[in-house]
Structure 1
Amino acid sequence: MPDTDIISLDAMGGDFGTSVSIAGAALALERRPQLSFLLHGDESAIKGELAGFPALAKKSGIVPAEVHVAMDDKPSKALRAGRWKSGMWRSVESVKNGDAAVCISAGNTGALMAMARFCLRTMPGIDRPAMAALWPTMKGESVVLDVGANVGADAGQLVDFALMGSAMARALYDLDRPTVGLLNIGVEEVKGQEDVREAGQRLREAELENLHYHGFVEGDDLGKGTVDVVVTEGFAGNIALKTAEGTAKQIASYLRSAMGRTIMARIGYFFARNAFEQLREKMDPRKVNGAVFLGLNGVVIKSHGGTDAEGFAAAVEMGHDMVANAIMDKIATDLRSIKEVPEMSKSAET
């Protein structure tokens, strides 16, 4: 088993490359001094950034890579050209080889998923991996998946997503039995697509020890925090995620505009600035940056490509929490339990 404190970074990935990944790693190291890093990418560029972070330099090893995967590369092209030579591939491969416990990349999402799936393979019993994200709610945070790895999902795959999301919630939130809901167009059992209704029936009848099936949830339940885990297929999940991100930016823009419009508004902001600071903290997408590729034989975290050092550090910390709390073991345990229910084993046998 790899040391859970060793983090593998695709140092060149994202819109800003090493300037963000190295600064983010340094920030994560300040908060978690036990961490150490394998930095994959252009050696001279990495060394240049590390010069400004001597503490990180002492806790890092550099793994040179000849190829950089661009943000607009097609996954098939990146896999052909970048396999074995790119920093992205080698950062994933270090997890496969046991040199690191988790891989973090802000690079091309499609290429990263293709490489991670090709290199690590899916866990036994998992048909498709899923991308899971943390979602700020009125009650704290929820896990939402899939947010973009799969367009469409059958009933068995939705059940797999529920198991993996529940395991993630248990790992991150110290919950014994997270509540899980299936995203639907209504809460009534007769509504929605057949696959969603069938998945709900399977989860209800299974009565799993590590998961409490709540039932169907609607779009407004995501922000309410009605359940700990919201399950959907990747098309709807990605639209929901991007809509939420856009709405948060829209509200922030409205507030900035309103607060500076008149002298009275600026005076009002002065007296209410603590409340506005708290609001900004809650709406800050950097705090929940990072989508997890669940269902692979290793943990891979996809950071937002346009994030800053604070956001990248959050992705590093999420990855560390996942492996420190044995996310892989929890998923494997839940998969074994689901196979004990005959009608639930359909997706595992495909």
Structure 2
Amino acid sequence: MGNSRESAKLTLAAVAKEAGVSTPTVSKVVNGREDVAEGTRARVLAALQRTGYKSPLQRRAVWERRAVEVVFDSLNSAYSVEVLNGIMEHAAASDMEVILSVTSREGSSPLGPEERAQRMIDEGRSGMIVVTSAYNSAQLEAFQRRQIPIAVVDPLNPPPADVCSVGASNWAGGKAATTHLLELGHRHIAFIGGPSEAECSQARLHGYMAALMAEGISVDHEYVSAGAFRPSNGVRAMKTLLALDNPPTAIFAGSDSIALGVLAEARRQHVRIPDDMSLVGFDGTHQAEQSVPPLTSVSQPLQEMGRSALRFILRQMHGEDIDSRRVELATHLVVRESTAPPRTSQVGSAVR
């Protein structure tokens, strides 16, 4: 035990020499203490990286802490359940415990960034997977200072380049959904997106726009809206679209949950899907298969996204070099019964 302590002291001294600071200062940075000037902290962190130093506590933690915290903005969607299933499956195979946490989309917490990160260490968490929530740079930096592995899935805001992230080919999926409707003969196609600030929703919108423009069709901004990835957004948007002088003959919904809201409002207003209007969702959840009619949807590999996020955590825990910190998995369109060619009377005009 004495040799271990002596080795740690010598290593701290080497880091201190490299950074041009005292050994106690290095110790403060390693332990996440706040009473270190930012400039000094930056020099020490750079020296720690160059020397590859890990404290004995951190080295033991790789093997002793086998719990990953998974943070969702909510757990009331099929999307969240599918991602969680992937994480749980890989966690079981890796002898990892999964701890669930639900926060708001803004990543709000009663604790500040430093307190939140320190609590992760105090409670023995190996790392954190953040799903569809927004974590600001101060929060992420607090985790990184303590060398807590982080991975984000479908983040609302772009994560820093050194943070591992997992997503799907949202632009390609948006283009495929819209192209499918165009190939059926639709020319009046609406897009009901998720939050306007969400990267994934922006990419789906841009794919939709690209498909229209490729056919020489201008984007009608009355047909484009944004909101939450929830059925209520689909209900609201469907009401607005049906009240237009020229309602669309088809809708591309930015998630299956939104599409379910569209279906509900269509039934209330006696609009038949797909006879009067075609509908495409996004996510490929079991809800798409079980809806009436079964929903044509862009399928994301949600379980594999969860597994990929946990792989990132495990690789960071074991100190592996990670060349690419962004994984983007392929999407594919699954055609079911909610899409059909427009009626002859709709060609060249919208459903009334």
TM-score by length of 1: 0.31
Q: Which has the higher contact order (CA 8 A, sep 6+)?
A: 1
Of structures 1 and 2, the larger Rg is shown by 2
Q: Looking at secondary structure, tell me which structure has more helix per residue.
A: 1
Q: Given the two structures, how large is their TM-score scaled by the length of structure 2?
A: 0.31
